[in-house]
Amino acid sequence: MDPPQAFPYTDEEMAAAGLLGDDVSQPAQQAIATMRAHPELLKLPLFALQCIDEVAKRESLTSSVPTLSDWPGISVPIPTSTSQDSDTYAVSTYAVSEYEKTTYYNGITHGGDHPDLLYRSDLFTNPFPEPKGRYAHLPTKSVQGVHETPLNKVWDTVGPQIRNLVKDRKVRYSSIDPARFVTYGEDDAETLGPVVIWIAVYPGSTSPETAHEVSQNILTLLVKNGVDGAVVEWHEAVPSKLSGPSLMRVVPNTNPTAHLRRIFTPALNMPLATAQRKDSDAQGSLTLYFHEGKDKHGNPSDKVLGVSNCHVLRKTTDVDYEFRGSGAPKQYVRVNGLRRFQEGLDEIKAVISERGELAELLARDIAKFDAKETSDSEEAEDFREARENLLKQQETIAKLEDFYNEVKIHWCDIGLRNIGHLRYAKAISVDVEGGTLFTEDWAVFELD
């Protein structure tokens, strides 16, 4: 008979890891207690315990920061001088629940800072239920472009008309875009949603009633132009200018690092920054790649170029820039600025924390089952699967820790994250004479 297993860490190791004392978070304390009680079941590395503790403290700190509604004498939403919505303060028939507001766009941005949903035109026909149960799964989404749909054929016509419908109601909008969303359910099952007219408005400036009324006009316009089944979604957002080793390969979704490594791969939407704008930490993303084909002298060229925004890659955006060639100083383009790199590390820790807490919960459930004197076959099968799941979570945590260390070792030095240099940037301009008011904001860089 094997001797009973003991808790694997000494007090000195726990203290050095910051896991002793009253300031350890409750989730970390729970995981440590379960490891002490059932070391044969729960085997978490020190780093996983540190991740659980750090993420819990970060979330606690975020939730403790007062919102506008927490301050005396201030209510939310706050009307602006240009808002036409006297009904903002009333409970609206078209308002989404607080849960849906804060989680509907879960996953579409990095770091969990996705926008809040204000209104959607399919609110009553497409429910968004809150997950229930101990192992409830919160779906995530990603935003995609719109391709090969009836909207593509008429967007140049209906786009400006939609903008006018929004402007006629004095709505304080920051963007109007066509989009489609992919929803990822359990086991990463993907569902592609309908074409969406995605409207961003300033927080507190627009009521659900106004959004509903304008949306009905937009949907009528779309149907008249042969676009059926579209949805209009409104979200609250403040507009902002976003802005070494070989890039990592893209791996299947079955790899636990697939989602986490995307910012280090050559996939589209790769986060970009420049050495020139390091101090301001301006960041953006890659829009597309293309082959040069021929250089400016007509000679064959196998160079690969990337496209992003001028305001991302240039500090001075009101004059054209062109790289003059050999001998001219290069303006280097980097993958991941300081802020995005740190967010990437935090994302890895957050996933390790999530996996660690799930493993702790599974270990406690299995221990309770083992303590029972009798059980039926169905219950025994459930806990056999729970044991397999526990082993899987712990194996995944080990892989994620290895991945975290790889990123820290090979990608930490921002000077080694150069992937190319700026070739051409067009000065930002707005099409006033043409009447579209569209903004031209692009730049091209050459990949090294």
The string of DSSP codes covering 98-130 is HHHHHHTTTTSSGGG-PPEEEEETTTTTS--PP
**Would you give the end-to-end CA distance of the chain in angstroms?**
61
Q: How confident is the model at residue 75 (pLDDT cuts 50, 70, 90)?
A: very low
Q: How confident is residue 329, by pLDDT bands cut at 50, 70 and 90?
A: confident
* pLDDT above 50 for 34: yes
Tokens of 321: 């820039």
**Per-residue model confidence as pLDDT tens digits over 392-438:** 999 999 999 999 999 998 888 888 888 899 999 999 998 888 888 88
Query: What does the pLDDT read at residue 251?
Result: 87
Give the CA distances from residue 323 to residues 238, 301, 319, 330, in Å, rounded to whole numbers and listed in that order.
Answer: 33, 17, 13, 7
pLDDT tens, 332-360? 999 988 888 999 999 999 999 999 999 99
Reported as a pLDDT band with limits 50, 70 and 90, residue 86 is very low
CA 95 – CA 327 distance, rounded (Å): 60
Band (62; pLDDT cuts 50, 70, 90): low
Which of the four pLDDT bands, split at 50, 70 and 90, describes residue 91? low
pLDDT averaged over every residue in the chain:
85
pLDDT of 241 higher than 60 = no
